[in-house]
Amino acid sequence: MGKLKRVFMYLFLSIAAIVSVFPFLWMIVSSTNRSVDVTQGKLLPGPYLFENLSKAFETIDIVPALLNSAQISITTTVLALLIASLAGYGFEIFRSKTKDTVFSILLISMMIPFAALMVPLYRMFGTISQTMPIIGIDTISSVILPTVTTAFLIFFFRQSTKMFPKDMLEAGRIDGLSELGVFFRIYVPTMKTTYAAAAIITFMSSWNNYLWPLVVLQSPVKRTIPLLISNLGSSYSPDYGVIMTVILIATLPTAIVFFLMQKHFVAGMTGSVK
Amino acid sequence: MKKMLGLLLACALVLGACSSNGGTNSAGEGGNGGDGGDASKITIWAWDPNFNIKAMNLAKETYAADHPDVEIEIIENAQNDIVQKLNTGLSSGTTKGLPNIVLIEDYRAQSFLQAYPDMFHPLTDSFKAEDFAEYKLGPTSVGDTRYGLPFDSGVTGLYVRTDYLEQAGYTVDDMQDITWDQYIEIGKAVKEKTGKDWLSLDPNDLGILRVMIQSAGSWYLKEDGKTADLADNAALKEAFETYKKMMDANIVKIHSDWSQYVANYNSGDAASVPTGNWFTPSITAAADQAGKWAIVPLPKLTNNADSVHASSLGGSSWYVLNVPGKEAAAEFLGATLGSNVDLYQKLVTDIGAIGTYKPASEGEAYKAPNEFFGGQVIVQDFAKWTAEIPNVNYGMHTYAIEDILVVEMQNYLNGKAIDQVLADAQKQADSQIK
């Protein structure tokens, strides 16, 4: 009886795995086929990967878009981790009633959808552009600044800090470390897994961010990779083979980041929920 | 402490790198610092590199020959992206970053023109309206003021596989002057003899309904462009009934996205396409089907006296935004797509784009036969049908109403009475759009 149950369980899990992996597989297979094969639903790999690749690199500005995305994502991730972890640490270690209220307000801001903030935000950057074009509309800074830290990330760090052994901080203080010293030399090294998880989350959402860069970036040279992909599908007769190849290239960095930090990621996520 | 300093230094570096980058870029823009685009440069937003962008590049080349001092930058954005960017930019009231010229689909044009009336630059004096197809003027104007320069024709035709027709005992001549009911009858015969479906439809895209009702000079909205016209719309009612007849006749292949749609024809699984002329490249992509296709006039509604063999699907026009550089932009449009007959010949030969500029149809390129379609002079035919398209006001809510109709269509197909279906749709539309 137990064996039968196991068989069913594995059957169910296999189906679920196939369903969730299929789009990814389909993307990889399609990148090796011509557009006609893709539209006809061919499921077997073809010999056209290199043709698609050369077409993609010849006709589409992938490299500049990748560099733009990398610059934005890495800067956002570094800044977001620094700011959010300092904030989360502060909220938890130096707790007071007022700070808890501020924190609740911060959490409420998580519930406002970005679409509602977009127009006022755009207006704000429009005004900033007149005095400080360096961080105004159509600059990389204008993409980074609104996402430089999120309420979720602060919440994430605060929850993780709850399990941090506070005696260690005391020990550091007694040994003569300054408050910032305590943070950077004791807290940061101990919370590596949390940082890894947060880095993956931030990097991925920044890499895939579409709506805000779309409205705020105007010059083609500043385009990020999701904007580039969106354009590829815009024609009346798109080349699906090439599009899939570009998407494949675009997913590689997030995949690499994820696999590099996977071990820490799982530990960090479960740690924060505990 | 050293480590911390190092980290702070790294952060400062990264910040500095990105802001200096921003600095050089904005300096490259001309650094006028104020609102809107640069006065010495014309920026253009459009979608589809093989069609609209190519067309604009041709226009740019012809213009640059006489105006070497004008710099023109054409930026490619997907259509939905343009809509999103325009809406955000225009509704936030800052014109910073907006282009001088933008391409807008005719169905959406009024919603922009009416919502942001001050943001568009009138083109009334930049081109001769009477030189353009009548049906393009309604969507691109507000009152007597022209805001859009009409561009590609959305004129429809019926693409049909002649080899399947012959197997079913019909010829292209039998298709010349038919109604939708006759179209369905022929489709049944084709399905019976060849086993191939007659056409491919997407249940979420009621384009074929729009085609049918425009052929009778009717639309989802009344002439004011604001009131929904569904419950007592005879043309729409017949279009619904025709749609159901197609489904009941079991001659429809269903697709859910563009790639499946094209694939159904490229693989030879479906035999006819009632759609806009921009579908031609998708048909000709299947080179092995050369000589097997013909394009015949669109069928008309069976019981509607106003219905003609011409309609439109899609199509877009160029608009000049009210930002610095608008005069130069208007002049550019007027001198190229507004009056240059030779340019329109090039559009046909190089891209296959059929414009709506009437004098252009006298040119050579419009009279060239197309070998893929068995030597048929397809551009001439499309140009002829373009002139016959009834003029309707697409109004502000075409897509909002279509969302309602998509649901009600399913109810209708599942057996709900037609009058009730349209009355319900009318009620929803009235409460939604006001």
For B83-139, how does the pLDDT look when each residue is reduced to its tens digit (9 = 90+)? Answer: 999 999 998 888 888 899 999 999 999 999 988 989 999 999 989 888 998 889 888
Does B293 lie in the same domain as B319?
no
Residue B352 within any structural domain of the chain: yes
Q: What is the spatial distance between Cα A76 and Cα B156, in angstroms, rounded to a whole number?
A: 49
The DSSP symbol for A45 reads: -
Alpha-carbon dihedral A97, A99, A103, A104, rounded to 10 degrees: 30
Q: What is the spatial distance between Cα B383 and Cα B391, in angstroms, rounded to a whole number?
A: 16
> Of B98, B77, B76, nearest to B87 (Cα)?
B98
Flag the least confident range among B2-11, B196-205, B355-364.
B2-11
Instruction: Give the model confidence (pLDDT) of A154-176 as tens digits.
Output: 999 999 998 888 888 888 899 88
Max CA pair span of chain A:
74
Residue B189 within any structural domain of the chain: yes
Tokens of B84: 């999103």
> Of A108, A111, A127, A121, nearest to A212 (Cα)?
A121
How close is the nearest chain A Cα to the Cα of B266, in Å? 8
Q: What is the ipTM metric for this complex?
A: 0.77
Flag the least confident range among A194-208, B352-366, B395-409.
B352-366
Q: How confident is the model at residue A202 (pLDDT cuts 50, 70, 90)?
A: very high
Residue A274 confidence (pLDDT) above 60: no
Interface of A with B in 96-125 (CB under 8 A): 118-120, 122-123
Q: What is the spatial distance between Cα B93 and Cα B396, in angstroms, rounded to a whole number?
A: 20
Residues in chain B closer than 8 A to A185 (CB atoms): 3-4
Residue B331 within any structural domain of the chain: yes
Residue B35 within any structural domain of the chain: no
> Of B78, B11, B18, nearest to A70 (Cα)?
B18
The DSSP symbol for B197 reads: B
Partners of residue B317 on adjacent β-strands: B104, B150
Using the Cβ of A27 and the Cβ atoms of chain B, whether some distance falls under 8 Å is answered with no
Residue B122 within any structural domain of the chain: yes
Task: Name the strand (E) or helix (H) holding A268.
Answer: helix A240-273
Q: What is the spatial distance between Cα B70 and Cα A77, in angstroms, rounded to a whole number?
A: 42
Residue B29 within any structural domain of the chain: no
Using the Cβ of A82 and the Cβ atoms of chain B, whether some distance falls under 8 Å is answered with yes
Residues in chain B closer than 8 A to A38 (CB atoms): 259
Residue B373 belongs to domain with CATH number = 3.40.190.10
Please name the residue of chain A whose CA is at the shortest distance from the CA of residue B85: A215
Does B332 lie in the same domain as B213?
no
The pLDDT of residue A270: 57
In sign, the C-alpha dihedral spanning B282, B277, A227, B39 is positive
Partners of residue B272 on adjacent β-strands: B160
Does B322 lie in the same domain as B237?
no
Q: What is the spatial distance between Cα B386 and Cα B291, in angstroms, rounded to a whole number?
A: 24
Domain ranges (residues) in chain A: 63-222+251-273
Segments in B251-397 forming alpha helices (H): 258-266, 280-284, 326-335, 341-346, 378-388
Residue B88 within any structural domain of the chain: yes
Q: What is the spatial distance between Cα B45 and Cα A228, in angstroms, rounded to a whole number?
A: 14
Does B169 lie in the same domain as B295?
yes
Name the E strands within B81-173: 101-105, 141-142, 145-146, 148-150, 156-161
Q: Decide if B281 and A40 are in contact by the 8 Å CB cutoff.
A: no
> Of A236, A209, A239, nearest to A223 (Cα)?
A209
SS3 B132: strand
Instruction: Give the model confidence (pLDDT) of A93-110 as tens digits.
Output: 998 999 999 999 999 988
Does B94 lie in the same domain as B50?
yes
Q: Decide if B51 and A82 are in contact by the 8 Å CB cutoff.
A: no
Interface-testing mutation among B5, B26, B258, B289, with chain A (most A C-beta atoms within 10 A): B26
Q: Locate tokens 């462009």: which residue?
A: B225
Instruction: Give the model confidence (pLDDT) of A248-257 as tens digits.
Output: 999 999 888 8
Using the Cβ of A179 and the Cβ atoms of chain B, whether some distance falls under 8 Å is answered with no
Residues spanned by the domain of B177: 156-311+397-433
Q: Decide if A123 and B92 are in contact by the 8 Å CB cutoff.
A: yes
A vs B, Cβ pairs < 8 A, gives: 156
Higher-pLDDT residue of A69, A218: A69
Q: What is the spatial distance between Cα B146 and Cα B121, in angstroms, rounded to a whole number?
A: 9
Please name the residue of chain B whose CA is at the shortest distance from the CA of residue A182: B1
Segments in A94-150 forming alpha helices (H): 97-108, 114-131, 140-144
Q: Decide if B263 and A41 are in contact by the 8 Å CB cutoff.
A: yes
The superfamily (CATH) of domain A63-222+251-273 is MetI-like (1.10.3720.10)
Residue A267 confidence (pLDDT) above 70: no
How close is the nearest chain B Cα to the Cα of A4, in Å? 39
Does B299 lie in the same domain as B248?
yes
> Of B430, B378, B342, B299, nearest to B58 (Cα)?
B342
Percent of all residues in chain B with a pLDDT value above 90, rounded to a whole number: 55
Does B343 lie in the same domain as B217?
no
Answer for the pair B299, B229: CB distance below 8 angstroms, yes or no. no
Answer for the pair B223, B170: CB distance below 8 angstroms, yes or no. no
